Each structure stands twice: as C-alpha cells, then as structure tokens.
Amino acid sequence: MFSQPDRDDYTDRKGENTVTEPAAESSTERLFDAVIVGAGFSGMYQLHRLRALGLSVRVLEQGGDIGGTWYWNRYPGARCDIPTIEYSFSFDKTLEQSWDWHELMAGQPEILDYANHFAERFDLRRDIDFDTEVTAAAFDENRADWRITTADGAVTRARYLIMATGCLSVPHWADIPGRDEFAGPVFHTGLWPAAGVDHRSQRVGIIGAGSSAVQAIPVIAETAAQVLSFQRTPVYSMPANNHPLDDAFRADIKARYDSIRAAQRASMAGFVLYGVQGKVQDMGAANILDLSVEERRARLDAEGLASLRRYPDVAVDLTANETACDLFREEIASLVEDPDTASALMPRGYPLGCKRQVVDTNYYETFNRPHVEAIDLRAEPIERITATGIRTSRADYEFDQLIFATGFDAMTGALTRVDIRGRGNRALREHWEAGPRSYLGLQAHGFPNLFTVTGPGSPSVLSNMLVSIEQHCDWITDCIAAMRDNGHALIEPERAAEDAWVEHVNAVAQGTVLTAPSCNSWYLGANIPGKTRLFMPYIGGVGAYREKCAAVVANGYEGFRFA
C-alpha cells in the first residue's frame, strides 16, 4: 500500500490547483490502491499485473461478466478479423501453449471462451464488481486520490484510476426520426442479447454497412425469411479467407511463438503472419499508376482484392486510390448478379483504406439470394422509422425485427460519458473539447494518476489490440512500480509534452487517405453528429510507438512530472 502524500506535494503548481480542507471520509467509501474501469482484455490483464505488484485493486465493470467487446457483441457472425493466434496474450508461456485456436479468425464464442479461460486461470473474478457502472471520477487534491462514483451512488477511492473502458464500447444508435416507434423487437449489434435472437421466419431490417453488418448479414440470411439491408455508405469489403486450423498448423505456430511475438511487437500493426486475405503479405513496391490496365487486372486476378491496398500510392494519392476504387467496383459488378443491387453495394465518393478495413465471408454473394435486398439510401434516404418498418423517400419497407449495426462513439465515448474531473475540477470533456489530448495516449495534463489503456493518441484501434493492450498495461504497471520505488505519489504529463505529442499524432496522419476530406470514418469522430473531427489514433505503428514509450522511461519519464 502507498502512503498518502503531503498537501505540500501540490504546492509546486501555483494557480493550477485549489487546495481545500480534506473532505470527511465516509464510512461507506471503499479504498483501494488502484481502480480499473472495465473488465475486457485490458482491464483483466491490468488487474493481473497490478495484483502482482502487491497492490489492492478493484475492477468496476458495468456488464454482467468479463469479456468486454466479446461479452457485448454476440450478433450472428461476430468474429475477429485478424488471425486469433496473434490476437492473444503473449506474457504467459503456459497460457500460450495450452490454448488451441480452432479457426484462423475465431468467432465471438471462442474468443469469449478464451477470455473466460484467462479469467479463471488467474482467478480474476474475485476482484471484479459486475453490474457496476462508473458515472463520475473526481481527483481529490487534498488526499491525492480519485473519488469514483458508480451508478448506485457508491463511492470508491483509489490512488490510481485506470480507464480500461474500451475504444468500441459505447454503441451509437443512429438518431433517425421515429426511432422508438418500431413495434417489433429492436437490437443493436453492440448490445446483442446473450440468449441470442431467433431470425427464423422473420423479416429482418438492418441499418448500417460497417464490419458488424457485413459479418451479420450473411449469417442472418441463413435462417431469416427476408433481409433488408439499409446502406448509406457501402464498404470496400474483402474476403477474410477464414478457415479451420489443424494440429500441424498449431504445433508449428507454438514452436515458434517467441519469434512471432517479437515480430508482432516490432511491427506496424501488431500482426505479422497473414495479410487481410489470409495470405503471406507481399507489399509489392509498384505503384498502381505505374501499371497498365492489363497489369492491374492481372494482379487483381492473381492476388485478389487485397492487392488493391498493397500499392503504395493508393495509401497517399487520391488519383491512384480512385483507380483502385474503380477496380473494386468492377469486382462487385462481377460478384453481384443484379446490376441494381451491385450498384447499391458499390462504395463511391471516399477513398479505399480510409476506414477500418472490413473483411467478410460471402458478403457480396449473399446479395444474390432472392430474399436478401440492398436498399441504397444514397438514392432513397430514410425518412423515418415507423411501427412496421422503415419509410424511405421512395417506399415503405416492412419487417418484423429491426437491427442497428450503426457502430460506436469510438475511442473517446467511454471516457467522456463519465464525468471525469481533474485538478481544479476541470472536466476531461472540457479538456478534450477540440478533440482528445494526451501524452502518448496514456495520460492527460491536469489528470494526475489517471491512465487510459489504448487511449486516443496511441496506436490502439489501428493495431492488433491485444499487442497494444499488453504494451500499455505493462507500461502502466512499470510506471507505478517505479513511482513506488522512488517514493512518488503522483504522475502527470507536462503541458508542453502533451502539446507536442498531439501535434505529432496529427502531423503523421496528414497526407494519407485516412484524413482525406472525403473520408468520414469513426477514426475521425465523423460518425457521431457534433463530434470534433480529428484523427484520434496514432498512425506511427506499434513498433515505433513502443520504442518511443521505452525511450521516455529511459530518459527518466521525460515529459512527465512526479510529485
């Protein structure tokens, strides 16, 4: 346990803090060294690491059990879109060797099984409060700790507050007129009932065309009587080429896991074995604009749609990108038999690769089935949701079940919906009014001892998240251990370090298709009406970012100040 700091610890920040008399401690308040919010992979791993330091730790989780993303997103077809052998923890060799993945890109049930196995192996549940939503957290300058309030009104105090609240954990319900008028059952892919939903003999209307819808539609179409897919922005989806794994494959991976993990940590995106199509990546140096029409077509035929993203100029040059997009649309026209349906599914007006890549199993082919229809909202916008379905400018569509596959308030949503107050009672929402600000995506100036796991300003959602989660939780753990060893009570970034990092994060994203004005991705916050448009994750790559974080530590936690 740490000792409480002196009030004098704060006197070096004149004008930035208001030191008042310590509040009387309520007898009902619980005290811990650290509180972690969220029991997904981040919160669970952080708990395991901090426990090992000998800290008293409590995890507060609004859901009914562990798993985070994989607890909430149980919609049909939900699965990983990168090889799960790489989307797994690397810190424990026995865990690594004892777990057998059955598919290249495991489905939600198998990933949730893995999360449960992890929780049981390390006996994590005994330190987790479920059904416990954190609504507010205020830094108490007198006590140098965080006062954390949950929805039931209970207060928990902790020296360290670690927000492991997830980047894609706040479902976004599209604000469509009449949203509450539909008379039948309504679902969100990110809040799917654990008991499942029976689509047999049902007419299903589904709004959205991102990863969730692309995964769900082919599976729902297997049993539903009809599927009506309402698409405002069709995606550039590529085949996942998922397949079962056999013993020989698993044995080979297990034998060389160490080198695979090392390569993952040093890589750009945290996964190294396969490209998005399940083939060994050939990053080919040729630009698409340097090839003839025949050469482009030949490469597409040989390597599939993923080849379009491997041309270097496609990532940075909008003319090159549009050339790739034309080829993409040609491919859709060849996959989808009905020309009107093909046209409804064709992405237009935004660059390939500016959004999170979507991969699928039989997505375009599913629209060749007679009971599956794509409604092109670019041609007939939704006017309202009615008691029986959706009215567009052209027609009334009737169905029995309505699904919102409309995404998330990504990266910042889970943090800004909690009333977080730092020094001087300053709200994080206010600090982030013009977009999220942090140093290394780990901490914000004015919010001592508050850490974010895979927060904005870190590689986070641009990477294999398990690699980034391990790196962040390890960094936070090492930092807390170093503070204990050196008798420090508080850490927070210097304002100048935060400014410089925010500028760097913005600078490296410029000049890529990710920040093109025609791109409205959730990376930019553009999917949420009124949200500040700013590229939130760090595009520099997990390897370079890891080195930067290590260098900061090696230089005596450069850019941070301790008290």
- Among residues 211, 392, 443, 477, which is the contact residue for ligand N01, using CB under 6 A? 211
Q: How far is the CB of 358 from ligand N01 (least distance, A)?
A: 7
Per CB under 6 A, the segment of 131-139, 207-215, 246-254, 497-505 that binds ligand N01 is 207-215
Question: Read out DSSP for 428-439?
Answer: HHHHTTTS---B
What binding mask, one character per residue, do residues 5-34 give for ligand N01 by CB under 6 A, x or -?
------------------------------
The reply to whether 406 sits near ligand N01 by the rule CB under 6 A is: yes
Determine phi and psi for 160, rounding to 5 degrees.
-115, 140
Please measure the distance between the N-terminal and C-terminal CA atoms of the chain and give it in whole angstroms.
Answer: 17
- Tokens representing 402 are 């309505």
Distance CA(10)–CA(416), nearest Å, equals 26
Check residue 37 for interaction with ligand FAD (CB under 6 A): yes
Please, what sign has the CA dihedral across residues 241, 246, 251, 254? positive
CA distance 523 to 521: 5
Q: Which does 357 bind (CB under 5 to 8 A by kind): ligand N01, ligand FAD, none?
A: none
Among 108, 323, 471, 527, binds ligand N01 (CB under 6 A): 527
Pick 17 or 242: Cβ nearer ligand N01: 242
Q: Residue type at 467?
A: V
- Which listed option, ligand N01, ligand FAD, none, makes contact with residue 62 (CB within 5 to 8 Å by class)? ligand FAD
| Partners of 360 in beta bridges | 239
**Residue 209 within binding range of ligand FAD, rule CB under 6 A:** no
Residue nearest to ligand N01 (CB): 210
- Which range binds ligand FAD by CB under 6 A, 49-57, 66-74, 357-365, 511-519? 66-74
Judged by CB under 6 A, the chain residues 385 through 414 that form the site for ligand FAD are 414
Q: Which of 33, 34, 36, 43 binds ligand FAD (CB under 6 A)?
A: 43
Give the sign of the dihedral formed by CA 245, CA 249, CA 255, CA 260.
Answer: negative
Do the beta carbons of residue 158 and residue 33 sit within 8 Å?
yes
CA distance 428 to 451: 12
Contact status, residue 464 vs residue 508, Cβ threshold 8 Å: no
From the list ligand FAD, ligand N01, none, partner contacted by residue 239 (C-beta under 5 to 8 A by kind): none
Q: Which of residues 425-484 bind ligand N01 (CB under 6 A)?
A: 461
Query: Rounded to the nearest 5 degrees, what angle is found at the Cα of 266, between the Cα atoms of 260 and 271?
Result: 55
323 binds, among ligand FAD, ligand N01, none (CB under 5 to 8 A by kind): none
Nearer residue to ligand FAD within complex by CB, 164 or 344: 164
The binding track of 112-131 with respect to ligand FAD, each residue x by CB under 6 A or -, is: --------------------
DSSP 181: T
> Residue 41 interacts with ligand FAD (CB under 6 A)?
yes
Q: Which of 13, 125, 232, 548 binds ligand N01 (CB under 6 A)?
A: 232
Does residue 63 interact with ligand FAD by CB under 6 A?
yes
Residue 438: both structure tokens together: 């942090």
Cα 407 to Cα 190: distance, rounded to the nearest angstrom: 8
Instruction: Please state the three-class secondary structure of 72-131 as a single string.
Output: HCCCCCCECCCCCCCCCCCCCHHHHHHCCCCECCCEHHHHHHHHHHHHHHCCCHHHEECC
Check if the beta carbon of residue 535 is closer than 8 Å to that of residue 461: no
Binding to ligand N01 by residue 80, rule CB under 6 A? yes
Binding of residue 61 to ligand FAD (CB under 6 A): yes
Q: What is the C-alpha separation between 263 and 255, in angstroms, rounded? A: 15
Of 115 and 224, nearer to ligand FAD (C-beta) is 115
How many H helices and E strands in the chain?
Answer: 16, 20
- Chain positions contacting ligand FAD, by CB under 6 A: 37-43, 60-63, 68-69, 71, 73, 78, 80-82, 87, 133-134, 164-169, 212, 414, 418, 453-454, 464-465, 469
